[in-house]
Amino acid sequence: MALAQNLLIQRLPPLERERFLALCEPFELTLSAELSARGQPLSHAYFPLTGFVSLVVEVDSYPGLEVGMVGRESMVGSELLLGMAPTPWRALVQGAGSSLRVGAQVLRDQIDRNPALREVIQTSLLVRLHQQARASACERFHMIGPRLARWLLMSQDRAKTDSFHVTHEFMALMLGVRRVGVTVAAGGFQRNGIIRYHRGDLTVLDRPALEAEACSCYATDKSNHTELTSRRQRA
């Protein structure tokens, strides 16, 4: 049996955790794989153990825009709490790794039967709603540099390493900006010794300096996650 390395699953009481894990299966997160398609119901819910996933919204013929990021702290598919409706985004693997997955209908059945599972998924969904609302405001009001710093910090948090592979094109896609804007902002971070970047290989050299460059949304997201999770656990 796979260990419950996903932090959301770890919050379940031990007996409920073991019962739920027995329903899950290992699933590798392959870089750039699509876990869900816009307009289609989810077939599975995913609980990352390592690696992370971007939730990307596409409007008309415009490039996609990232509105959420999911790592081992959460899950892909918390909206199943509300039913089996089509999803409004694509879930794309941004950082390769491993996960546990469970069938969508199986999860729905367990939500109805297991109050503890329902509670942690409710919290996960609430945290993501806060994250997505903040992402919309961030895209509108904050400059590219601070937004890029926030995105790099979020990626590093979930990658659990100082180094990961990412291209300027992909960063521009996730931020919804032109590639030249990312190139200028990343170049400034590199000149200041905050990051090192070469042919898609990015290393965070000075984490505190990167945090200082980030917009306020990064700290707010972390604070919201801590507050909402703690509040639910106390309730």
Q: Is the pLDDT of residue 175 over 60?
A: yes
Q: Is the pLDDT of residue 16 over 80?
A: yes
Mean pLDDT along residues 112-128: 94
* pLDDT band at 189; cut points 50, 70, 90: very high
* pLDDT band at 65; cut points 50, 70, 90: confident
Q: Is the pTM of this model over 0.95?
A: no
Q: Is the pLDDT of residue 216 over 90?
A: yes
Inside any domain, residue 235:
no
Contact 182, 144 (CB under 8 A): yes
Instruction: Assess whether 80 and 124 both reside in one domain.
Output: yes
Instruction: Assess whether 85 and 197 both reside in one domain.
Output: no
Instruction: Assess whether 77 and 121 both reside in one domain.
Output: yes
* pLDDT band at 2; cut points 50, 70, 90: very low
Q: Is the pLDDT of residue 151 over 90?
A: yes
Instruction: Assess whether 127 and 164 both reside in one domain.
Output: no
Inside any domain, residue 227:
no
* pLDDT band at 232; cut points 50, 70, 90: low
d(C-alpha 162, C-alpha 140), whole Å: 29
Lowest mean pLDDT among 7-11, 15-19, 191-195, 227-231: 227-231
Instruction: Assess whether 16 and 106 both reside in one domain.
Output: yes
Domain total for the chain?
Answer: 2
